[in-house]
Structures are given as structure tokens and as C-alpha cells.
Amino acid sequence: MHDPLHQFEIKTLVPINIMGWDVSFTNSSLMMGLAVGLIVLFFGTTGRRGQMIPGRIQMIAELIYQFVANLARENIGKGSEKYVGLLLSTFLFILFGNLLGMVPYGFTFTSHIVVTFTLAFMLFLIVIVIGLFHHGLHFFSYFFPKGTPALIAPFIGVVEMISFLSPPISLSVRLFANMIAGHIMLKIFASFTVDLGMFGVMPLLLNSALTAFEILVAAFQAYIFTVLLSLYLHDAVHLH
């Protein structure tokens, strides 16, 4: 039996216990560190060796930056340049996390909801801090749209509060579900290819097509996460 869920198992690489807390270094930790390292190496190298006429690597880095900068400008509006770094870091971290899981013997840390929820929750707190920084206590007027009748203001406030607090859940579940479903599907079709031997040509071709599709999904999920973050930043900066 080929277990399609085995690929999501957390494995301890370096056991660490601090005052009863298990903070061991795992395969998930390794992939997160590798993702951050690759991002720093990629942009550090292209930034240090920047040329007037960019080479291929520098051109890719500039295209990615410009892509995120345009996204921020379209969704956040005035003052968007302040948040390009946050959006770019989020986009690349998720993208590299998704793609590293496509590498043989790699591990997709974005397939664990504890990772995606923690990331979404941290970004959500950052959005709140940005809103408070811009508007102070007036930020809480976001939950009471202008012109709301006093009679239904408490009800509208509760609805707006729930709507505002839902992003960490929706963002984390969407990313987690897409990654785990795609990898399970690839694992199942890969097992068909092995089990059928010389008759596994069709499953092999299908799995190749699904792999290409999964790479597109990995990039698309990073894009969707970043777009939604930019929209939440717009609400925090400009309110209603």
C-alpha cells in the first residue's frame, strides 16, 4: 500500500527540548530555513551584482519585484511603496515553500495548516498594527461604517468584526487545502505508474501533466495569498 499522506509526516532531525517544550528542528524547519536562504541568496546576489544591462537572473529578480510593486500599487493605492517589501517577502516565502515540495525528497511546509495559519495570523496582526499606526483609535470606526443607524450599529459592528477576523482562517485553509490535495493526487497517480510497470505509460504521462499543473497551482496560490494581503492592507490604510 502506498500511503499518500506519508509525505506530510513531520520528522525530527535535531531533538531539542527547552523546559519541557519540544522545539525540535524538523524537516519542516529545514525547508523553511532553506526557503528563506534561497530568497536571500537570490536577491542578495542580484542586488550586489546589479548591472545597467541586466542578465537573466537579474532580469527575473526585477520582473518579480515589479510584478509585486504593481500589485501593491493597484490594490493599496497611495503609499503602496511602503508595503512592497512585506508583500514581496510573503509572496516569495509561500512560492518557495510550495515549489520545494515538488523537489524529490523535499517537504511542503505549506501543506500543514499550523504553518499557514501562523503565517496568516502574523500578517493579520501586522495589518492591525499598520491600521492603528495610521488612524489611532479611529481605526475601530472600520467596524461601524459611516451612516449606520444607531439602532442596528451593534449588529453591523458584530458582522464587520467577524468579517475582519476571518482572513487568517480563510487564507490558511485555502493554501493548506490546495497544497495537500495536489500532492495527494500526484502521489496516487505516481503509485499507479509504479504498480503497472510497463503498462504505466498513460499514468506517467498524466502524472507529468499534473506535475506541471501543480507547479502552476503553487505559483497561483502564492499570488492569491499576496493579493488578499494587499486588499487587507488597503482596508487598514484607507478604512471604508
Cell of 146: 459611516
Span 2-28, average pLDDT: 85
Gap between the Cα atoms of 132 and 112, Å rounded: 31
Q: What pLDDT score does 8 carry?
A: 84
For residue 18, the cross-strand partners are 21
- Angle at the Cα of 43 from the Cα atoms of 230 and 212, rounded to 5 degrees: 70
Q: Classify residue 107 by its DSSP letter.
A: -
Q: What pLDDT score does 122 carry?
A: 93
Span 107-161, pLDDT tens digits: 999 999 999 999 999 999 999 999 899 888 888 877 777 777 777 777 877 887 8
CB 233 within 8 A of CB 127: yes
Q: Report in angstroms the alpha-carbon separations of 45 from 11, 48, 58, 66, 68.
A: 32, 5, 9, 18, 19
Q: Which amino acid is at 111?
A: S
Q: Classify residue 19 by its DSSP letter.
A: T
Span 176-227, pLDDT tens digits: 988 888 888 887 777 776 666 666 677 777 778 888 888 999 999 999 999 9
Predicted confidence band of residue 49 (pLDDT cuts 50, 70, 90): low
CB 230 within 8 A of CB 75: yes
CB 208 within 8 A of CB 47: no
Q: Classify residue 40 by its DSSP letter.
A: H
Q: Classify residue 185 by its DSSP letter.
A: H
Gap between the Cα atoms of 121 and 154, Å rounded: 25
Q: Specify the 3-state DSSP secondary structure of 25.
A: strand
Span 66-88, pLDDT tens digits: 999 999 999 998 888 899 999 99
Return the domain boundaries, the chain. 6-238
Gap between the Cα atoms of 127 and 145, Å rounded: 19
